[in-house]
Structure 1
């Protein structure tokens, strides 16, 4: 049962320090900071709550044997793949995530990339830098078709914004569903290859799970229309990078906007940097001014629920790797 003097461990990336806003918890609980497997192993004995801000961490595996009192694990990210190690999956310890904090800003990023492709903002910038006046025609945004792979809260917000500017939006989930408010249709992931040719933009908004890892490879890129663009704001390993590079080189797709990668940071000598039709950002699609404080506030609100014995918000289905939908 929750206790008034609960011990909380906050696991961050090395050198990050306690997240903004977390200091407030020191008045209510015993708060410890860890930044790798060694410091986590030393801090976690007796801890009831683990809050993880480093979505790439593998520290939990190293320290798990010392976790003797864990009652709740929280991730300050939408993806929880790094935390779902076998002993966590098999335990009755609830895992929660940051669903809702990043949804709108990620959707704005996606819509911005769609508009940038259609209006060739990158081409305008190149011509401006070369001081060249070149009149061109560009694509309309309204009427373009969008397939959002991942029909969770982020995918649904993407659907809302794209529909608002006149785009036709469908989704892909684990299974087909009808009568949806945000998507014209929701197709099953198993049908992905057959529907990919119909879309101008394919947006990956799915979590990384065993079912989505490597989902986009050679066959999927060959199935996409040659004028289509890929936008990935989900997780890098959902896309097979070698296959993506080949598809771009062979003209199988017309471009990509990538915020996530199999290897992060993306190496300076990686071929993706060299494509004029590839837009690259540093895993920042949802990071708005004040996002760290917003994540702390969300965790603290959930901590108060946990202290009071109320149901936690944003509980992840550990078997699926994300928050399920009815």
Structure 2
């Protein structure tokens, strides 16, 4: 018997839905409709992942809860509520891998934009001003990639390929890593922050990482360094970041994610010099929805055939663990 699958969506449906429907008894639900369809379903595809609706619609009776939840995103923090995480029968998977290369390319683009002052060049062009100026090299600059999952690894590989000196920061220190070289643990983090020209945040949002870049961390960064955040907005204390930028301790920041999205119009970040803002689009490329759909379809086939699922999230940690 085919699985009873609920697809939670908002503006878009999966592009390969005909193939999904051939493998599962499928119903499509908005956030408002989810409480009607989720009880008794075998599986949930959270095609719209930036939602709190799943926690509210989750059945009180564990026997009526889905046994598999797939999130069409790398981050799964809205799905880490007790009724799901405490139920050992529920498997949670995510879209790990889909965004790795696009986000790595985006990070490289942001670093180049900051080093070459592309925003300044474009502003001078807009004003029809001819202002020659020197720019910075990125070769041999030091980068600390905070977050050693698959996105962080893709970032590290690409930045090393263009001649940057890369290290990582994670829970477990190690002296030899194929992508980062050295991974700094908590004990070595302050020294690493003080040496980095760029700090790239690629960590998941968990209780342990929320607010990890606070005023003391920003104060520990090298004077004139730049912060790039392609992880999650709440990793950063935004007021502390505004203060560090305003006081000139940091030379700039490139931010794709924010504590509140869309970023409120009154945020001072919009107009701060040296700051690049993008609307949570680092991983979105022309065919990203097709890639998301194919990953889910592969997992749906694996489930039907009794094979292990890809990207099983450790629900205690909040992310997929390497190995």
Place the TM-score, normalised by the shorter chain, in its bin: over 0.9
Q: CA deviation at 1:171?
A: 0.3
Q: CA deviation at 1:239?
A: 0.5
CA contact (8 A) 2:38 2:59 kept: no
Provide the secondary structure at the position in 2 that maps to 1:65.
Answer: coil
Aligned to 1:260: 257
Paired with 1:134 and 1:297, the residues of 2 have a C-alpha distance of 48
Paired with 1:22 and 1:225, the residues of 2 have a C-alpha distance of 49
Q: CA deviation at 1:194?
A: 3.2
Paired with 1:302 and 1:200, the residues of 2 have a C-alpha distance of 40
1:278-293 to 2 correspondence within 5 Å?
A: 278-293=275-290
Q: CA deviation at 1:69?
A: 4.2
Q: Does 1:18 align with 2:18?
A: no
Hey, which bits of structure 1, 4+ residues long, moved more than 4 A? none
Aligned to 1:203: 200
Q: CA deviation at 1:193?
A: 2.7
Paired with 1:229 and 1:19, the residues of 2 have a C-alpha distance of 37
Q: CA deviation at 1:184?
A: 2.2
Q: Which runs of 5+ in 2 are unaligned?
A: none
Q: CA deviation at 1:268?
A: 1.6
Paired with 2:103 and 2:207, the residues of 1 have a C-alpha distance of 23
Q: Does 1:107 align with 2:104?
A: yes
Provide the secondary structure at the position in 1 that maps to 2:110.
Answer: helix
Paired with 1:304 and 1:48, the residues of 2 have a C-alpha distance of 14
Provide the secondary structure at the position in 1 that maps to 2:174.
Answer: coil
TM-score under structure 1 normalisation?
0.95
**Which of 81, 87, 108 matches 1:85?**
81
Query: C-alpha deviations, 1:196-245, integer Å up to 9, x for none?
Result: 11000000000000110000011111111121100000000000111111
Aligned to 1:65: 59
Paired with 1:149 and 1:311, the residues of 2 have a C-alpha distance of 30
Paired with 1:137 and 1:275, the residues of 2 have a C-alpha distance of 21
**Which of 312, 317, 320 matches 2:317?**
320
**Which of 190, 193, 205 matches 2:190?**
193
Q: Does 1:30 align with 2:25?
A: yes
Q: CA deviation at 1:294?
A: 1.3
**Which is worse superposed, 286-295 or 207-216?**
286-295
Q: CA deviation at 1:17?
A: 4.2
CA contact (8 A) 2:213 2:235 kept: yes
Aligned to 1:215: 212
Q: Does 1:122 align with 2:141?
A: no
Q: 1:199 to 1:71 in 2, by over 3 A?
A: same
Q: Does 1:295 align with 2:295?
A: no
Q: CA deviation at 1:195?
A: 2.1
TM-score under structure 2 normalisation?
0.96
Paired with 2:306 and 2:287, the residues of 1 have a C-alpha distance of 29
CA contact (8 A) 1:146 1:201 kept: yes
Aligned to 2:136: 139
**Which of 137, 149, 153 matches 1:152?**
149
**Which is worse superposed, 171-180 or 60-69?**
60-69
**Which of 29, 38, 44 matches 1:50?**
44
Provide the secondary structure at the position in 2 that maps to 1:10.
Answer: strand
**Which of 14, 33, 43 matches 1:39?**
33
Aligned to 1:311: 308
RMSD: 1.3
CA contact (8 A) 2:59 2:65 kept: no
Q: Does 1:231 align with 2:225?
A: no
Provide the secondary structure at the position in 1 that maps to 2:59.
Answer: helix
CA contact (8 A) 2:147 2:168 kept: yes
Q: CA deviation at 1:305?
A: 0.2
